[in-house]
Amino acid sequence: MLATGWNYTIIAMAKHVASSSGQVRDLPWYWLIIGTLGFCIVLAGLIVFFVRLMREIRHNQLQSMYLARVTHELKTPLATMELSSSMLRGKNLEVSEAEQLWNSHQRELGRLKSNVDSLLLAARFDAKLFKPTRQLWSLEDWLQNEFGHWTNSLGDKIERQGPPLHGMVFSDAGFMKLITDNIIENARKYAKGTPKLKIQTSVVNRRGRSRWEIQFEDEGLGFDPTMEKKIFKPFVRAQATKTRSIPGTGLGLYLAASAAKKLGYRLYARSKGLGSGAVFVLEGDWA
Amino acid sequence: MKNTALLVEDEMELAASLKLALKKLDFNVIHACNLEDARKELAAHDVRLVILDRMLPDGEGLDLCFELRSAGYDGGIVALTARSATNEVVEGLKAGADDYLPKPFSWEEFEARVHSVLRRA
């Protein structure tokens, strides 16, 4: 309808010009094309303007969310530390109370350090300053070593299934650790009670190429299937947090995804929905 | 008889330190991690002081503040928050908070503010 209206306007203008010059003649056919093109250009301009406006609004919302979360994540541990240290300094406390405050102070110091590290790391990834240093190493040896660390972190509720991943990879072990540690930490944070994790290794074939695959299956809160890609964006919280707050900057999975991208690996996640747990899959090439 | 304080704070480490701080100020302390639990505790106890965090898992702490004042609650309310811009402080005071304590804060400041609020409440 808009296009028809636009064309009638153009035609009417052209007829008016023709009439005022004293000669009424048939409208040349190219006026219709000019009108249609003009309309398309205006419409395209409006669409581009609208899309940019929406992007700008979304960007501002994300920035505001980022600032609120970062402020909260930095100031809350600082508040605990300042309160506990000032109480330790000036208050008559029983030994158990002093111990409680000191332990709380130390835990929050650790949290603050971790938050600052995550923010700096994310900034380095964003600025493209962080590049992998690749070396040749055995994936199975690395996995066995890391499995020990994960067991320390999650206790005995972690099990490994599938064949050993014998073979060499040309990769950066630090980047690999960054990816897997953030997945494990995610499973720990979003666990319903004691965290449980199943690690499934396999060798898969993708377009005639053999690739290794590590799946991390947790029994945590999971996420809505529509959030499969969004959970790897910074500051996104896909999980319901109705009953408690979950500490962290919301950067863990973003860092994991950024590191996987730098290595040329594929990292994706799936879940049947909130309350159903989640599966994170890391897939990469052999050397 | 001791006064009762309701602490509404979802950050466990900070809540533990605040509980101890309030006990040292001779309060009976009830702790709620979210607005829903806070409403239940307020209905069940005679609360003289509410220490209220703003960013809670199920909503904005100031909504509870506004609800309490609308219902005629005349005890003290101290809003705790990481947000300390002038407009945010004004927003908190307009919602009915007696004082607005930006994070981080020391024990001395917390003690002084709680006493000040109780004098006025």
| Interface contact A80-B58, CB threshold 8 A | no
Supply the pLDDT for residue B52.
94
Mean local confidence (pLDDT), A127-138: 88
- Give every CB contact of residue B73 below 8 A, 6+ residues apart in sequence: none
Answer whether B5's CB lies under 8 Å from B30's CB: yes
Local structure of residue A235 (DSSP, 8 states): T
Residue with tokens 């005022």: A20
Supply the pLDDT for residue A125.
84
| Interface contact B56-A245, CB threshold 8 A | yes
Answer whether B80's CB lies under 8 Å from B11's CB: no
pLDDT in tens, A168-218: 999 999 899 999 989 988 888 887 777 788 999 999 998 888 999 999 998
**CA–centroid distance for A9 within its chain:** 49
Closest CA of chain B from A74, distance in Å: 9
Q: How far apart are CA A210 and CA B46, in angstroms?
A: 68
> Does B20 have pLDDT greater than 90?
yes
* Interface membership of B67 toward A (CB under 8 Å): no
Supply the pLDDT for residue A240.
46
pLDDT in tens, A178-190: 999 899 888 888 8
* Interface membership of B112 toward A (CB under 8 Å): no
Residues A245-269 as b or e (16 or more Cβ within 10 Å = b): bebbbbbbbbbbbbbbebbebebeb
- Chains A and B form CB pairs within 8 A to the count of 82
Residues A132-169 as b or e (16 or more Cβ within 10 Å = b): beeeebebbebbeebeeebeeebeeebebeeeebeeeb
| Interface contact B11-A91, CB threshold 8 A | no
Smallest Cβ distance to A243: which of B14, B57, B106? Answer: B57
pTM of the full predicted structure? 0.71
Mean local confidence (pLDDT), B41-47: 95
What are the backbone dihedrals phi and psi of residue A161, each rounded to the nearest 5 degrees, phi first?
A: -130, 160
Supply the pLDDT for residue A247.
62
Closest CA of chain A from B99, distance in Å: 17
Supply the pLDDT for residue A286.
92
Supply the pLDDT for residue B84.
78
Supply the pLDDT for residue A10.
60
What is the number of other CB atoms lying within 10 angstroms of the CB of residue A3?
Answer: 12
Residues of B in contact with A80 (CB under 8 A): 11, 13-14, 17
Mean local confidence (pLDDT), A232-243: 61
Mean local confidence (pLDDT), A16-26: 59
Supply the pLDDT for residue A219.
86
pLDDT in tens, B59-90: 899 999 999 999 999 999 999 988 778 888 88
Strand partners, A279: A217, A270
Closest CA of chain B from A109, distance in Å: 11
Q: Which residue in B has a C-alpha nearest to residue A108's C-alpha?
A: B13
Q: Burial, A32: exposed, middle or buried (Cβ in 10 Å; 0-12, 13-18, 19+)?
A: middle
